[in-house]
Amino acid sequence: MITDILRAKRDSESLSRDDLYKFASGIADGSVTHYHAGAFLMAAYINGLDKDETLALTMAMRDSGTVVKWDKSLSPLADKHSTGGVGDKLSLILAPLAASIGIRVPMISGRGLGHTGGTLDKLESIPGFRVNLTLDQFKAQVAELGVCMIGQTDELAPADRVLYSLRDATSTVTSIPLICASILSKKLAENPDILVFDVKCGSGAFMKNLDDARELAETLVQISKMSGKKASALITSMNHPTGLSAGNTLEVQESLDILRNTGPADSTELTISLVARMAFHAGIDNGEDLCRKNLANGKAMDVFVKMVEAQGGDIAAFEALPQAPVIRDVRADRTGYWCGPDALAVGVSVRKLGGGRYRVEDSVNPFVGWEQEVLCGSPIEDGQLLGRVHAVDRDSAEEAVRAISSSFKWDAPSDPLIIEEIH
pLDDT in tens, 177-215: 999 999 999 999 999 999 999 999 999 998 999 999 999
Q: Are residues 85 and 229 in the same domain?
A: yes
Q: What is the pLDDT of residue 414?
A: 82
82 belongs to the catalytic site:
yes
Q: Are residues 6 and 37 in the same domain?
A: yes
Whose CA is closest to 160, among 197, 129, 117, 190?
A: 190
Using pLDDT thresholds of 50, 70 and 90, give the confidence band for residue 114: confident
Query: pLDDT (tens digit, 9 = 90+) per residue, 303-355?
Result: 999 999 999 999 999 999 999 999 999 999 999 999 999 999 999 999 999 99
Q: Are residues 306 and 338 in the same domain?
A: no
Residue 263 lies in a domain: yes
Catalytic residue among 9, 89, 122, 186: 186
How many structural domains are present in the chain? 3
Using pLDDT thresholds of 50, 70 and 90, give the confidence band for residue 112: confident
Catalytic residue among 187, 200, 357, 390: 187
Q: Are residues 94 and 240 in the same domain?
A: yes
Cβ atoms within 10 Å of 154's Cβ, excluding its own = 9
187 belongs to the catalytic site:
yes
Locate all alpha helices (DSSP H) within 2-89, ordered by sequence: 2-10, 17-29, 34-47, 51-62
36 belongs to the catalytic site:
no
pTM score: 0.96
201 burial via Cβ count (<10 Å: 0-12, 13-18, 19+): buried
79 belongs to the catalytic site:
yes
Judge contact between 153 and 120, C-beta under 8 A. Answer: no
Judge contact between 15 and 50, C-beta under 8 A. Answer: no
Q: Are residues 244 and 291 in the same domain?
A: yes
Q: What is the pLDDT of residue 328?
A: 98
CATH at 47 = 1.20.970.10
Written as one string, the DSSP assignment of 324-377 is PSEEEEEE-SS-EEEEE--HHHHHHHHIIIIIS-SSTT----TT-EEEESS-TT
Residue 410 three-state SS: strand
Tell me the C-alpha to C-alpha distance, in Å, between residue 292 and each of 244, 247, 269, 358, 405. Answer: 20, 26, 9, 38, 35
Query: Does residue 18 surpass a pLDDT of 90?
Result: yes
Residue 418 lies in a domain: no
Using pLDDT thresholds of 50, 70 and 90, give the confidence band for residue 415: confident
Range of the domain at 396: 326-410
Query: pLDDT (tens digit, 9 = 90+) per residue, 361-409?
Result: 788 999 999 999 999 999 999 999 999 999 999 999 999 999 999 999 9
Residue 423 lies in a domain: no
**Rg of the chain over all Cα atoms, to the nearest angstrom:** 21
Catalytic residue among 22, 62, 81, 161: 81
Query: Does residue 38 surpass a pLDDT of 80?
Result: yes
Catalytic residue among 64, 82, 109, 236: 82
Q: Single out the residue in 62, 85, 110 at which a domain terminates.
A: 62
CA distance 54 to 225: 13
34 belongs to the catalytic site:
no
Catalytic residue among 100, 119, 242, 268: 119
Catalytic residue among 79, 88, 198, 266: 79
Query: Does residue 152 surpass a pLDDT of 90?
Result: no
Catalytic residue among 80, 139, 214, 281: 80
Using pLDDT thresholds of 50, 70 and 90, give the confidence band for residue 117: confident
Residue 416 lies in a domain: no
Using pLDDT thresholds of 50, 70 and 90, give the confidence band for residue 110: confident
Judge contact between 155 and 66, C-beta under 8 A. Answer: yes
167 belongs to the catalytic site:
yes
Catalytic residue among 58, 83, 175, 182: 182
Residue 151 three-state SS: strand
Residue 26 lies in a domain: yes
Beta strand 378-380 pairing with 336-340: antiparallel
80 belongs to the catalytic site:
yes
Residue 267 lies in a domain: yes
Q: Are residues 27 and 96 in the same domain?
A: no
CA distance 89 to 252: 7
